[in-house]
Every structure is written in structure tokens, then in C-alpha cells.
Structure 1
Amino acid sequence: MAKTSVLSGFPEWLPAGRIVEQHVIDTFRRVAELHGFSGIQTRAVEPMSQLLRKGEIDKEVYVLRRLHAEDGETDHVDPDRQLGLHFDLTVPLARYVLEHQNDLAFPFRRYQIQKVWRGERPQDGRFREFYQADLDVIGQDVLPAHIEAEVALVMAEILAALPIPGFTIHANNRRLSEGFFRAIGLEDTQGVLRSIDKLAKIGPEAVATLLREQSGATEEQAQACLGFAGIVTDDGTFGDRVRALGGTGEEVEQGIAELSEVVRRVNAEVPGVCVADLSIARGLDYYTGTVFETFVEGHAALGSVCSGGRYDRLAADNRHTYPGVGLSIGLSRLVSRILSADIAHATRGVPTCVLVSVSSEDERARSEQVASRLRARGIPTEIAPTAAKFGKQLKHADRRGIPFVWFPGADGDEVRDLRSGRQVGADADRWEAPAEDLHPRVVPTGEGA
């Protein structure tokens, strides 16, 4: 087979990288379940009519179509019949909640770790196929405000357990932002939010131009918006600064109160991890309350690795509405940075703890018996592929990062630690591998195996 070219945007990790990725997945799952979140999986495809409801991502959706389509199966079929790969996990969640509402207990606490697909331009940390990990609490008709801080705290616990440097959760409130824009005379609040959302990418001067040209802002209003977006505090003092810029009215005061409570509660549990950052816009129009973005210290260029917020109408039918609070980690994006920046690594690239040597092919059955006894006690074990000289078998184990080699013997077995060279007598029914060697671990770079 000829050598294939790399497909940009579709990451494939080497075994050691996959161990890091699996560690991140397992950590997310463990902490989520510790807080009572149930895991779900949804189908990979949804009707195009559902995927395109938001209208902002239509150019990025991958359409699902058979290679040999039958007559009438074209790209222009009924959107309710045409299928596409899901580009996030929120659209599938909305459909899932509506379909299973009679079988779910609300508030429904759900986590989901699944691949999604987006046809965007691949670049550092952005892929066309990637894992996303979501955490949501969904209510039926009502959802208490304290859930906003609770979900943020669970996500903070997940991030704190991952092999990354420090991180900061930046929070804003959509009621506060929209109330402020209206208070200074700007009615196109969604347009203003979309412009503010580009602040980090294009800078304040370009954003001011967008505000004037697309939202009809005066120079004074544009500067007020930039002043608002420049407010960052780790306490409730942002409220006075908003009022000083002209933010008045019931909607502004409600937003200040809600955001202050979220920042207070999160920092009471994890001091200093949450800041009120009024530049956080989250351009999607379904957010209605607190919105979040999360940044890793020393990796600002990576952008937000975890984002989300409050949405009061995830889904609705003739009987109920389903408000929710959710946060999502771009898991592959985060793993990519951990690997490329050498932030952390796996202590070895294979699960094997012990390689059982084979003295000759006639004695392979003895080695197989030893391996079975070790595996029965939970010790990951493999057998040497050939009865080569012991020196070659030792080199084979060392190249693969296997820490121990077992030597079956008629007069008793022995096991060697390849790192220290120490070799001692051992019994396959009683020998214990050191806890730190039993399975590969993910450790910050700079720490040894």
C-alpha cells in the first residue's frame, strides 16, 4: 500500500498520546459522576432541519449521504430527511430531552463525551473531528439560579484534576450585557454582542468600527461598550463601574446581582478561580443568563478551552420549556495542547506491566501459565513474541517501556526491574507490582516515571 497523506483536522495520537487523552476522558467522567451526573450517548447524525436551526454554522455541517444514492437522493432533498453529522452536543441534547421527557427525572443532570464534526479550517487546536465533553443540568419549566454556580464549580473540579497549569473561569451575564447596551441607547443587542465577541481576535479599534457600521452606534456609545467590555474583577465591584458608564435599570441590576452571586459562590469554594469579565459575550443567541469561558494560564493563544452558560429555552413543546445550564470542554483541543506543549506525558506508551520471557518455544506453555496467573490478579502482562536470546527479550521490553521482565524457571521464577537492574525471586500468585507501575500514569512533564 502506498504511503497515505495526512488528513488535516483529523487528529490521531500515538499510543502514549492516546493514554493522555483517555486520562482526560476518565477524569471528566469520574468527577461528573461524583456529582451525580448521568452519562448519555446520542446518535452521530441529526436531520439537517435541526442542525441548521441556529443558522450560524450551516457552512460547517458535514452532510451524510450514500456514495451510490438512489434516484431522488440528492443534496436538495427535504431537510427533514437529509442527515448531517452533529457539530456539537447541544442540538442532540435538545432532541434527546424532548423525545425522552416522560422517562427522565428533572432536573436532569447529564454528561456526554462524544466526537463531533465541523468543516472549519484546521489550525492549532481546531479540528474537523474532535471529542467534546459536556456537562448540563436541565430543568422542566424552571431551573434554580444557584445551578449556574454549581455547574461552574463541578467544571472547576474537573479542570483542577487534569494535568494542566492553572486556569481561570471568566464569567459574564447576558441580562447585564443586553441591559447595558439598551441603557445607553443601542437596541441591536445581538449585533453588539457579536461584535464584542470578536474583541480578542480583531482588537478594540476594529470592534468600534463594527459597532458604528453594523449596529448604528455613535462614537460615544462605541467607547462605552468598549469600556464595559474592559471591566474585569474577581469580586462584586464591577457593578459600580457598570453604573458609572451609564448602566441603569432593572435588567442591569438583575444582571449585576446574578453575576455577583456566581463569582462569590465559585470563589468561596475555589478562591481566585472565577472573575467577572464583561468582555465575555458568547455570540450565540440562545444564552440568557450567566456565560462562561475558561483560559489556561500561559496559553492565552489557545483561547477558551471550556465555555457555556445559562439558556432558558434549550427546547420547548406545547406543554413545557426546558431551561438549562451547561459547560463544554473542547477535549481534543485541550489534549492537543497538553501534548504539543509537553505539559504532561504518559509514564509509558503501553499498558503492559510485565513481559514474561520465553526460554524456548518448547517452554512457551510455562510462560503462558505465568502470564495467566498474573493477569488473573489484575497485572497487565504479555509474553515475549519469540524465544530470542534473553538480552534481546530485555531490549524488546525496554524499547516498549515495560518496567518488569519475568523469568520462569524450573527451580523458581525471578523478576527483573529494568530500571534498577535488580532481579529477585518471585511467585506469580503472590508478587505485587508497585502501585505506580501497575498501569501507565499521566504526570506533568518534569516528573519521572
Structure 2
Amino acid sequence: MPISGFPEWMPPQRMIEQRLLDRIRTTFELYGFAPLETRSVEPLDTLLSKGETSKEVYLLRRLQADENAKDDDSLGLHFDLTVPFARFVVENAGKLQFPFRRYQIQKVWRGERPQEGRYREFLQADIDVVARGELPFHYDTEMPLVIGDALGGLPIPRVRIQVNNRKVCEGFYRGLGLEDTAQVLRTVDKLDKIGPARVADALIETAGATRAQADACLELAAITAEDGSFADAVRKLGVTDPLLDEGLDELLRVVETAREHAPGLVVAELKIARGLDYYTGTVYETQLEGYERFGSVTSGGRYDSLASTGKETFPGVGISIGVTRILGLLFGHNALNVSRSVPTCVLVAVPAEEQRTTCDRVAAALRKRGIPTEVAPTAAKFGKQIQYADRRGIPYVWFPGEPDTVKDIRSGAQVEADAAAWQPPSGDLHPVIAG
């Protein structure tokens, strides 16, 4: 029986996922990111020190654990790939070339309430750039471009990357006279969930804001623009602070770079805060057109002190694609399909069991040339073998003989063919994914 929050894909869905991953992986490598895989478990103190995640961490325990052994109690499954990556960088700093660019495509586990598009076990595809000591800001402007390229070449709805900068928010809150900026950020981050009126009340209750200060925070959060006009809108609110100016300059660079390279991809959205505590500057969230009500499908940001040895700091910036999240939403709305349920392009028919060796040779010759091929399971009547291919969406049936022939069972066209030379149209070679 199904277990809530732990998805299992059928073969057609899994093929769609694999194509998606191929595109993402290829794009990441085009930008020079190198692959990495880290372990699935981390010490609990590492996992619990990075924000409000303690309720979501899955513990790792052995069924026959020794009562006196403490190690099992101190391990948890990772809930994202950024925290393990930061730990990996610190432990391997002597072996890495900085700035270190890596991508990671792995499962993560998060014990939150499952709902449409939200799972307890899901696949993430991350990129990060980490430096030793100081990370130039231009890497913040590169992140959205990589995601735009990776997802833009897929048959999925258009993505829109919302960007903000925590320095804008924190500087603004400081300029207003609010001291607990982290609490204000966490509260404003709930805007989409609880609405402006309840956010204002919560700011007064938990962050010590006056009604006027709470209203100003909401005015800032309401600002949105596809160009640099957001900076003027912020300045019109009349709040000043050096950190606010620094954040506005950085955010302007991200928005203007994206406008030049990928118009319409990025929008400044000043309500975006991100729930995790380790972000220090630029933050990203991404919406899928038509699926905005389900929230962000990719997210990330700049973190200046997540990876640190005490003596040295390794600042980074990264962004993560919620692969399972995107697919779960699209599968749930039947918005993605694949042209056949198996990779097979050709079924080699078996005239009689004594000829199976000949049929195997034909299949081997076709596979050698990159044509996905299988041999019929039994030497049934040809009509039944064609029916078998049709049920599985296999477009071609090959009949060994003198000479061999191949039949397109969709059109009924049949031609003489040589396994060493015949080639199907490129659109038939592999299953085609359509939105």
C-alpha cells in the first residue's frame, strides 16, 4: 500500500524524470559545475543548527541498537543538500580548488505534512559555488541564468525566478528601529500562508513592532518589479540604513544581469525571505506558471558563514531545483506525457523458437547502432506479436526473413531493411516527452 509522502513513479513517469535529470545535469556541466555526492546522514547537531528544522529531521536508528551506544541517536537523514555540502567543504578544504563549483542530484528527507507537490522523500538538484574567505558577487547573478537554461529547455510551464536580498529587508527593519530582524524576517516569510493582516499582528506580538512599523514592513514586502524600479519604490518609503543601500545595489545587479541575458526570467519580489536562517544576502524562489498557488519549485541564496572552521570562512551561493516537486505537480495535473511506456523502438518478431538465435543477432546489430531493441517473448502468431508491441507503444516490428522487413505498426508501412544500416526517424528513436 502507498505510504504518504514517499512517491513511487511508474516506468513512463520514471522515463520523464530521467529525461528531466539529463537536461539538468547537462546544463549544470555546461556551466562548469562538477558532480558530487555526499552521505545521506549527518550528525544531529549539524542538522539542527541551521534553522527551524528540528521537527522535520528523520532520525537514523538500528532496530537492534545497543542501549549504551549513543552514536545511533546522534544521526539524522539530511533535509537538504546545502548543509551537508558546507560540512564537506570544511572537511576537504585542503583538497579543493576554490572557487569550488559543484552540482549534486540526490534524495533528501523532510518530515513535514505531505500535500500536493510536497513530499517526505524527494529528489533535489543543487548547484553551489563556494570560495575561501571571499566570494565575488557576480556568482549571485549567475545562479538564475543556470536555472533558466536548465528548465527552459524542457516541455514544462515557464518558470519565473523571484529574487530578493536579505540585506534589503534587514537594513530596512533596522532603519525602522526594529532590533530582532531575524524574527521579522521569519514572520514576513509567512505572508503567503497567513496574509498581511495576521503578519502585521504577529510582528506586533513577536517582534515588538508598533502598528506603523508593521505597516511599513508590509509596504516593503508589497514591492515587486521586473526592472530596477523596485529600488526607487523602496527609497520612497523614506527609510535609510547603510545595509539597505548595499542590499539594493546587489539586488539591482541580479535583476539587471537577468534582464540582459534572459528577459522575463527574473522578478524582484521583496516579500521573499526564505525560512532557513543561514541565508545572508540574495535569496531566490521560483514559481511554475499556472502552479503559483503551490509555492516555490526552486529556491536558494547566498550564505556567508554556513561553512566555517572558526579560523576560516567559506562563503557560498547556491540554488536547488525541487525535481520531485515539479514532477509531482505536473503528473498530478496530467500535464506531462511520454510517447510510449517503454524505451524500446523495435520489437524483433520471432517466427519460430528455433530462429530465436537469428532474432537475437538482429537485435544485437540494431543495439550496436544505438537503437533500443527487444526480442518478442514468444513465437506467437505475428498478429499477437504486433499486438504486444502496440500495447506497449513500440513503433516498429522487425520480421527476420529473406530479406528482413520492418513494419511501422502505426501506419502499416512495411519495407525491406538491413540491421546494419536501417535507421528509424529521429523522433521515434527514443520516447518523446510532451507538456
Alignment of 1:141-220 (within 5 A): 141-220=133-212
Which of the numbers 60, 63, 76 marks the counterpart of 1:67?
63
Which residue of 2 is the match for residue 447 of structure 1? none
- 8 Å CA contact 1:126–1:333 kept in 2: the answer is yes
Q: Does residue 1:50 correspond to 2:42, yes or no?
A: no
- Ranges in structure 1 where 5+ consecutive residues have no aligned partner: 445-449
Which of the numbers 22, 28, 31 marks the counterpart of 2:24?
28
Which residue of 2 is the match for residue 422 of structure 1? 413
Which residue of 2 is the match for residue 392 of structure 1? 384
Q: Distance in 1 between matches of 2:407 and 2:307?
A: 60
Quote the offset at 1:332 in angstroms.
Answer: 0.2
Q: Quick one: which amino acid aligns to residue 414 of structure 2?
A: Q
Q: Quick one: which amino acid aligns to residue 432 of structure 1?
A: Q
Q: Does residue 1:412 correspond to 2:408, yes or no?
A: no
Which secondary structure state, in structure 1, belongs to the residue aligned with residue 125 of structure 2? strand
- Please list the CA deviations of residues 216-264 of structure 1 after superposition, one character each: whole Å capped at 9, or x if unmatched: 1111111111110000011112122212223212111111111111100
- 8 Å CA contact 2:144–2:266 kept in 1: the answer is no
Q: Distance in 2 between matches of 1:339 and 1:159?
A: 16
Q: Quick one: which amino acid aligns to residue 86 of structure 1?
A: H
Which residue of 2 is the match for residue 301 of structure 1? 293
- List 4+ stretches of structure 1 deviating above 2 A: none
Which secondary structure state, in structure 1, belongs to the residue aligned with residue 371 of structure 2? coil
Which residue of 2 is the match for residue 290 of structure 1? 282
User: Structure 2 length as normaliser, TM-score?
Assistant: 0.98
Which secondary structure state, in structure 1, belongs to the residue aligned with residue 55 of structure 2? helix
CA RMSD, Structure 1 to Structure 2 (Å)? 1.2
Quote the offset at 1:343 in angstroms.
Answer: 2.3
Q: Does residue 1:136 correspond to 2:132, yes or no?
A: no
Which secondary structure state, in structure 2, belongs to the residue aligned with residue 143 of structure 1? coil
Q: Quick one: which amino acid aligns to residue 404 of structure 2?
A: D
Which secondary structure state, in structure 2, belongs to the residue aligned with residue 63 of structure 1? coil
Which of the numbers 75, 78, 83 marks the counterpart of 1:86?
78
- 8 Å CA contact 1:163–1:343 kept in 2: the answer is no
Q: Distance in 2 between matches of 1:250 and 1:6?
A: 53
Which of the numbers 286, 303, 306 marks the counterpart of 1:311?
303
Which residue of 1 is the match for residue 5 of structure 2? 9
Q: Tell me: CA distance 1:218–1:128, structure 2 relative to 1, closer, same or farther (3 Å).
A: same
- 8 Å CA contact 2:33–2:103 kept in 1: the answer is yes
Quote the offset at 1:55 in angstroms.
Answer: 4.8
Identity of aligned residues (%): 56
Quote the offset at 1:168 in angstroms.
Answer: 1.2
Q: How many residues align?
A: 435
- 8 Å CA contact 2:52–2:275 kept in 1: the answer is no
- 8 Å CA contact 1:193–1:281 kept in 2: the answer is yes
- 8 Å CA contact 2:298–2:319 kept in 1: the answer is yes
- 8 Å CA contact 2:164–2:272 kept in 1: the answer is yes
Which residue of 1 is the match for residue 91 of structure 2? 99
Which secondary structure state, in structure 2, belongs to the residue aligned with residue 162 of structure 1? coil
User: Structure 1 length as normaliser, TM-score?
Assistant: 0.95
- Please list the CA deviations of residues 56-83 of structure 1 after superposition, one character each: whole Å capped at 9, or x if unmatched: 111211111111112314xxx368x722
Q: Distance in 2 between matches of 1:55 and 1:228?
A: 24
Which residue of 1 is the match for residue 341 of structure 2? 349
- 8 Å CA contact 1:59–1:119 kept in 2: the answer is yes
- 8 Å CA contact 1:288–1:311 kept in 2: the answer is yes
Q: Quick one: which amino acid aligns to residue 310 of structure 1?
A: R
Q: Does residue 1:265 correspond to 2:257, yes or no?
A: yes
Which secondary structure state, in structure 1, belongs to the residue aligned with residue 101 of structure 2? strand
Q: Distance in 2 between matches of 1:78 and 1:407?
A: 62
- 8 Å CA contact 1:397–1:403 kept in 2: the answer is yes
Which deviates the most, 173-182 or 249-258? Answer: 249-258
Q: Quick one: which amino acid aligns to residue 175 of structure 2?
A: A
Quote the offset at 1:283 in angstroms.
Answer: 2.5
Q: Quick one: which amino acid aligns to residue 407 of structure 2?
A: R
Which residue of 2 is the match for residue 325 of structure 1? 317
Q: Distance in 1 between matches of 2:433 and 2:314?
A: 39
Q: Distance in 2 between matches of 1:285 and 1:333?
A: 22
Quote the offset at 1:314 in angstroms.
Answer: 2.5
Q: Does residue 1:433 correspond to 2:424, yes or no?
A: yes
